[in-house]
Every structure is written in C-alpha cells, then in structure tokens.
Amino acid sequence: MKALTANRLIDGEVVFWRAGQWIEQFPQAQFFADDDAAAEAALETGKAQPTIVVDAYLIDVVEAPGGYAPVSYRERLRALGPTNEPTHGKQAAGGAGVEAILAATGAARSTGRVDLIRRK
Amino acid sequence: MYRYDAIDREFLADRADEFRGQVARRLAGELTEDQFKPLRLMNGLYLQLHAYMLRVAVPYGSMDSRQLRRMAHIARTWDKGYGHFTTRQNLQFHWIKLGDAPDILDALADVDLHAIQTSGNCIRNVTADPYAGATAEEIDDPRIWSEVIRQWSTLHPEFSFLPRKFKFAVTASAKDRTAARVHDIGLVLRRARDGALGFEVIVGGGQGRTPYVGPTIREHLPVGALLGYLQAILRVYNRHGRRDNIYKARIKILVAALGAEEFARQVEEEWAKIDTAAADLPDTELARIRGAFAPLNFETLPARSETFEAAKRASPALARFARNNVKPHKKPGYAIVEISLKAPGATPGDASAEQMEVIADLAERFGLDDIRVTHEQNLVLPHVKLDDLPVVHAALAAAELATPNINLISDIIACPGLDYCALANARAIPIAQDIARRFEDADRAEMIGELKIKISGCINACGHHHVGNIGILGVDKKGEEFYQISLGGSGQEDATLAKILGPAMPADQVPEAVDALVETYLAARQGEERFLDTFRRLGMAPFKEAVYADVH
C-alpha cells in the first residue's frame, strides 16, 4: 500500500492526501494499492500545489494490527510526532489509528521487533 | 557585554522586514520553494520533520536576562513553550510556523538578536569559553576576539559563499571548554615568553563524516594580526576547497590533503599579499570592543562565605550541587554556577519558557545580568556571590534546574536526532534519557566521576560523538535504529577521536553496554583516573570484551 504525504507550506505541518484534500492525520489518509495509478496521479496533483505543500512524496504503508502504519521508521515518527514529547504532534490526539502505528511490527524494513516506538 | 548601536539595530530591522517580504512572496507563489529555501536558510529557518525550526544565534553563547526572557516569550507565543540549546551555543525552536517567522524575527531584532548565519556555507556563530570574564584561568577575555570575528564575518561579501559551512571556537584558558581542536578554526589565546598576547591557530579540525583533530598551523599569531591572517586562511580555502563534492568541501579535507605544513605555507604566502594595514582591526576599534567587556563592578568580598559554608553543612543537596556545578571564579567571594539542562529523563538542552524566566530572573538579581550557553548544552550564571548560592540553588531546584551532574555520566550531549531532524537516521534523545535514568543515582554518578557521553543521530555528528569518552552514533540498519559505540574521544585540550568499539546494537542494549563499560572502568581504575585515563592506559580490549562477551 501507499500513501501520499508532504509538509504544509504555511506551518510545516505533516499532511496526508485524502480524496483531493490534505489532512493532518495519517489514519484517515487515502491508501492506494501498490499498482493503483491513482497514487501517481495524486502525487502529480500534490506537486502542482507549491503554495499549499512542500515536497510531496509517496510512502510505503503496511497493514498493522488494528490499522495501517508507514513502513519506514522516519515516516512513523512523522505520522506520530517526537517520541520524547508524547503530548506534542499528532500522537497527542490518540485513538485507534495512532495506537496502530505505535504497535506496528513486522514491517518490510524492520526485523519485526515489537514495541519499536516506545512511549514514556 | 557588547551592545548594538543604532546602525546595527536599523540593519536588523531592515533584514527582518526583507524576510517578511520574502515570506509573503513565497506564500503568494511568486517565489518557488527552490528560490525561497536559500533565503529562509539565511535567516536560520529550516523545514524539519514536524514543522519549521528556527535557529537563533547566541553570539559566543552570551545573553542577558532581557534576551533570555524574549526567548521564553517566543517559546510560549509561537512554539510549544520550550527551546533547545545546541552544541553551537545557539537556541533552536522546533515548532515554528512559516507564517509566524517574520514576527519572530521582529521580536528577536527588538532585543538585538537574529538568526543570520546560523545556516548556509558561511562563517557561523562563533563559540567561546562559557566561563569568559569569570575564570581565573584565562589570559584574556575570549569574548572580545569572538566579537571581533563576529563583526568581521557578518555579511562578509568574500566569505558568504564558502565551499561549505565554517565554524570558529575561541578560548583563552588552558582547559578547553570549546572543543577548539575539532573546529574549522580553533583559536587559543596564549602569552609568549615576552608576555605578548597571541593566538595558537588550529585549522582543519572537525567531526562529521570525516573527523579530524585540527593541526596547529601557527603557534603564536600576534593578536593584532588576527583578521589579516584569518583572511589569508579563508582565501586559501575559498580558492582550493572542494566545491565539487559536498562530502569533501570542509576545510579539514583540504588541510588533510595538503598536509598541515603545506597548508600553512600557502596561508603565509597569501598573507604576505594582503594589505594587513587595511585588513587588521585598528587599535581604536579594538579598544572600543574591549571596552564593552570591561571588568564588571565586582564587590570586594572575603574568599570564604560563612553563609554558604553553613548552608552546605545543613543541606547535602546544596553540598552536592556545589561539588559538581559550582566552579571557581577569578574574584574572591564569587562563583561560576553551571545550570544543568540534563535532569534525569529530560531532553538534553531543552529549557521551558518558565525555566528560562527563572534563570533570567536569577541572572538579573544575583548574576550581574549575564547568562551563558555551553557547547555541552547547559547554561551558566558566570558571576554569582557565594553568599547568594543557597538562594540561587533553592530557586533552581524549585524549577527542576538544580541537577548536580555537570561533567558526570548523565550530563550527556544529544542532538535532536530522528525525533525532529530531517537528516537523522536514528533517535538520539531517548538513548540519552535511558542512560541518564540508569545512572540516576547521584552517589554512583559522583563515584564514577567525569565521563562524557555524546550521542549523534547521524554521521553529521552534531552530538559530537567523535569526541565523547563514550560516543554513540545512531545508524539505520535495514530500516531499524541501531547504535554504534565508540570510546576514548575527547574534545578538550587533549583532543582525541573516539575509536569504534564493535558492531552496532539495538537501542535497548545501549544502556546495558554503557553499564558494562563503566563497570570495567571502575574495576580497573587506578587512583584518581577518569574513565578516559583508564581507557587510554588499557586500550580497547577489556572494554570490548565486557560489552561483547555474551554476543556470539
């Protein structure tokens, strides 16, 4: 699976693509099948919005227990916020989607070690 | 401290205004991101993982209470209520919105602060001994020379587009608190046998991908010749630095490629061509700058304070704080107070707006309105009367700022790492937190003694891992965070680069490994040896054995 992400120009906020809109929460993002041409089309649309977002790009997403999670560690942190300040960033909202990213294991580029992102 | 004049203030106001216009044009689509990025970077504004980051220059790590209060105000108004002090003695705000940045630059300019030359391939904010003007060790005040370099290098047209960034450190003490030998240029003030003041000039040190301890290219440069000689160094670098390869573009690569002797020869040759009368600072201007750092009005006090001695007897906490965080001052009856930003579990270098205000108040009431940032991410009140130490300590303790761990194992440098930084491969902060918690027992930490742990989240080494007694480098191993430990580094006057201990390990094994290293040291140490001394005597083998013995 894939998702489209960027940083919003005006405030740097991490945003995700959903049906023609940029939204702030990863769990509500639009997930594209790997062979879905709509992902590339969304990317082109995003790149054509330089006054709204900076640096739009596609990320790999995996199915995790209870939802979806970005594959790469860096993207999980972007989707959550910094681990040293659990009340800062998107993780502060909590909820099942955030829990799913926190609990994600077994991603393609990790060893499957549990509790990869610890909370204080 | 140095005060801006009307011309400086007008310039800063204009510069902030110019940036306001640039932001407006970017938001309106008149500037592309590629056009705008270098403009925002020239004003210290980076785009990081979660938001923009604004790096504010704190010239040679020196601030007054008015400036620190303004930082607190910015943290509270436009950030999430805190700031992060860095190894460049600067302050970073990690949650800045682009739309707010012009207002923030105005707020900074209003107290003679800015974010100019905190990014880009120019001469960056000069760092200096945080004990300047307070320690009896120094032979001159390094802030004077740092200010000279600051004025000379600010918007210097010839040196605004160097092959790569360029960092100075200036110290005047035998004990180096600036890591001068791992800077592009380290300047160490010394007196010649005849008493003449000069600089030992160290060039081509650095960390990052290719670390070097810089060689000394001139043992004694008369202070009056400083700017002409620096101009010669920068010209040789500007001409021959590797602009073709970003990884080889720092001056350290050039110095290493040519050899220190040949590099020095080329500098001398270039220097001979320079009209030094025009390049060097006139005596009148030097006197004006020196005047800004004239000795303060210290009171005449007895060397021993009965108030302080009695308070120490009554309070073990104060006594411990005094042992670790209070350093001797050049004037009888005064002390240098280090404020640790490394409470167990805290993020190294972070201070909340409230903490900044407490420190600003203490500086104003008890510290001759002077605050310093150290390159080890702590703060300093350089001039506190011994009589006032009990009150200052109590106020610090109430704000969770009295952690008595300066130079101890939990006084860890850590870069922001993957929690914030777009360049990082792994997190650094949680590793520091885990180690600090493991060594939370203050008695044990004091028993272990001086031990400097430095952690970087990537090869760029902002966390100074190459010069850590224990250095920890975060790496990306197949998408997962791993940590490579190295031993035996020092950023002080006896600078050495740390050597790699062995294969990288997952995060949860790092505190245990540090514990094994410490136990090995404690079992083997002789007399007053620090960890570093024991390591130097024994070498890597017993430490490696202790950490990897169980790994097969």
Q: Minimal Cα–Cα distance from B161 to chain A, Å?
A: 25
Tokens 């205004």 belong to which residue? B17
> What is the model's pLDDT at position B177?
98
Query: Would you call A95 an interface residue with chain B, using a CB distance cutoff of 8 Å?
Result: no
Query: Would you call B33 an interface residue with chain A, using a CB distance cutoff of 8 Å?
Result: yes
> What is the model's pLDDT at position A18?
98
Query: Would you call A52 an interface residue with chain B, using a CB distance cutoff of 8 Å?
Result: no
Interface A:B, Cβ pairs < 8 A? 87
User: What is the rounded distance in angstroms from the CA atom of residue B152 to the CA atom of residue A119?
Assistant: 47
Residues B362-383: b if buried by 16+ CB within 10 A, e if exposed = bbbebbbbbbbbbbbbbbbbbb
Point out which residues pair with B506 in neighbouring strands. B482
Long-range contacts of B8-16 (CB under 8 A, 24+ apart): B8/B112, B9/B109, B9/B112, B12/B109, B12/B112, B12/B114, B13/B106, B13/B109, B15/B43, B15/B105, B15/B109, B15/B114, B15/B116, B16/B102, B16/B105, B16/B106, B16/B108, B16/B109, B16/B114
Under 8 Å between Cβ of B254 and B237: yes
Domain spans in chain B, listed from the N-terminal domain onward: 6-109, 134-292, 307-398, 413-548
| Radius of gyration from C-alpha coordinates of chain B | 23
CATH topology of B134-292 equal to that of B307-398? no
Half-sphere exposure of A60 (CA within 13 A, CB side): 10
Token output for B503: 């294969």
| pLDDT confidence band for A119 (50 / 70 / 90) | very low
- Letter for the amino acid at B333? G
Strands B52-56 and B91-96, bridge-based pairing: antiparallel
- Measured between CA atoms, the residue of chain A closest to residue B432 is A84
User: What is the rounded distance in angstroms from the CA atom of residue B8 to the CA atom of residue B440?
Assistant: 46
Q: B506, A113: Cβ pair inside 8 Å? A: yes
User: What is the rounded distance in angstroms from the CA atom of residue B201 to the CA atom of residue B289?
Assistant: 21
Query: Would you call A78 an interface residue with chain B, using a CB distance cutoff of 8 Å?
Result: yes
SS (H, E, C) chain A: CEEEEEEECCCCCEEEEECCEEECCHHHCCCECCCCHHHHHHHHHHHCCCCCEEEEEEEEEEEECCEEEECCHHHHHHHHCCCCCCCCCHHHHCCHHHHHHHHCCCCCCCCCCCCCCCCC
**In this complex, which of B26, B49, B478 lies closest to A77 when CB atoms are compared?**
B49
Q: A84, B430: Cβ pair inside 8 Å? A: yes
- Letter for the amino acid at B332? P
- Per DSSP, the three-state class of B119 is coil
Query: Would you call A117 an interface residue with chain B, using a CB distance cutoff of 8 Å?
Result: no
> What is the model's pLDDT at position A108?
40
- B446 conformational bin, left if phi > 0, alpha if psi -120 to 50, beta if neither: alpha
Directed axis angle between helix B283-292 and helix B142-153, to 10°? 120
User: What is the rounded distance in angstroms from the CA atom of residue B186 to the CA atom of residue B173?
Assistant: 13
CATH 3.40.630.30 fits B6-109, yes or no: no
Q: Minimal Cα–Cα distance from A67 to chain B, Å?
A: 20
Residues in chain B with CB shorter than 8 Å from the CB of A55 are 33, 47
Residues in chain B with CB shorter than 8 Å from the CB of A76 are none
DSSP H/E element including B142: helix B142-153
> What is the model's pLDDT at position B551?
56
Of B219, B216, B168, B177, which is closest to residue B198 (Cα–Cα)? Answer: B219
Q: Is A106 a residue whose pLDDT tops 50?
A: no
> What is the model's pLDDT at position A117?
46
Residues in chain A with CB shorter than 8 Å from the CB of B428 are none
Residues in chain B with CB shorter than 8 Å from the CB of A51 are 27-29
Under 8 Å between Cβ of A61 and A31: yes
Of B463, B470, B460, B462, which is closest to residue B500 (Cα–Cα)? Answer: B470
- Average pLDDT of the residues in A71-94: 93
Token output for B256: 């290493």
Q: Minimal Cα–Cα distance from B305 to chain A, Å?
A: 41
User: Which positions ≥6 away from B51 have C-beta within 8 Å?
Assistant: A11, A12, A13, B94, B95, B96, B97
Q: A12, B97: Cβ pair inside 8 Å? A: yes
Cα distances (angstroms) measured from residue B378 to each of A97, B160, B163 = 38, 30, 31
Tokens 């995060």 belong to which residue? B507
- Assign a CATH topology to domain B307-398: Sulfite Reductase Hemoprotein; domain 2 (3.90.480)
Query: Would you call A77 an interface residue with chain B, using a CB distance cutoff of 8 Å?
Result: yes
- Assign a CATH topology to domain B134-292: Sulfite Reductase Hemoprotein; domain 1 (3.30.413)
Best mutation target among A13, A24, A71, A84 (most B Cβ atoms within 10 Å) is A84
**In this complex, which of B26, B28, B420 lies closest to A82 when CB atoms are compared?**
B420
pTM: 0.95
Q: A9, B26: Cβ pair inside 8 Å? A: yes
Q: A12, B98: Cβ pair inside 8 Å? A: yes
Tokens 């009888």 belong to which residue? B332
Q: Is A120 a residue whose pLDDT tops 80?
A: no
Give the angle subtended at the CA of A59 by the CAs of A58 and A62, to the nearest 5°: 140
- Measured between CA atoms, the residue of chain B closest to residue A54 is B33
Query: Would you call A84 an interface residue with chain B, using a CB distance cutoff of 8 Å?
Result: yes
Residues in chain A with CB shorter than 8 Å from the CB of B430 are 83-84, 118
Q: Minimal Cα–Cα distance from A37 to chain B, Å?
A: 26
Query: Would you call B22 an interface residue with chain A, using a CB distance cutoff of 8 Å?
Result: no
pLDDT digit string (tens) for chain B, length 552 residues: 899 999 999 999 999 999 999 999 999 999 999 999 999 999 999 999 999 999 999 999 999 999 999 999 999 999 999 999 999 999 999 999 999 999 999 999 999 999 999 999 999 999 999 999 999 999 999 999 999 999 999 999 999 999 999 999 999 999 999 999 999 999 999 999 999 999 999 999 999 999 999 999 999 999 999 999 999 999 999 999 999 999 999 999 999 999 999 999 999 999 999 999 999 999 999 999 999 999 888 999 999 999 999 999 999 999 999 999 999 999 999 999 999 999 999 999 999 999 999 999 999 999 999 999 999 999 999 999 999 999 999 999 999 999 999 999 999 999 999 999 999 999 999 999 999 999 999 999 999 999 999 999 999 999 999 999 999 999 988 778 899 999 999 999 999 999 999 999 999 999 999 999 999 999 999 999 999 999 999 999 999 999 998 654
Q: B418, A77: Cβ pair inside 8 Å? A: yes
Q: Minimal Cα–Cα distance from A102 to chain B, Å?
A: 14
Residues in chain A with CB shorter than 8 Å from the CB of B98 are 9-12
Strands B168-171 and B185-191, bridge-based pairing: parallel
Region B413-548: CATH code: 3.30.413.10
Cα distances (angstroms) measured from residue B301 to each of B269, B306, B313 = 52, 12, 21
- Measured in whole angstroms, the distance separating CA B105 from the mean position of its chain's CA atoms is 22
Give the angle subtended at the CA of B41 by the CAs of B280 and B88, to the nearest 5°: 60
Please state the ipTM of this predicted complex: 0.93
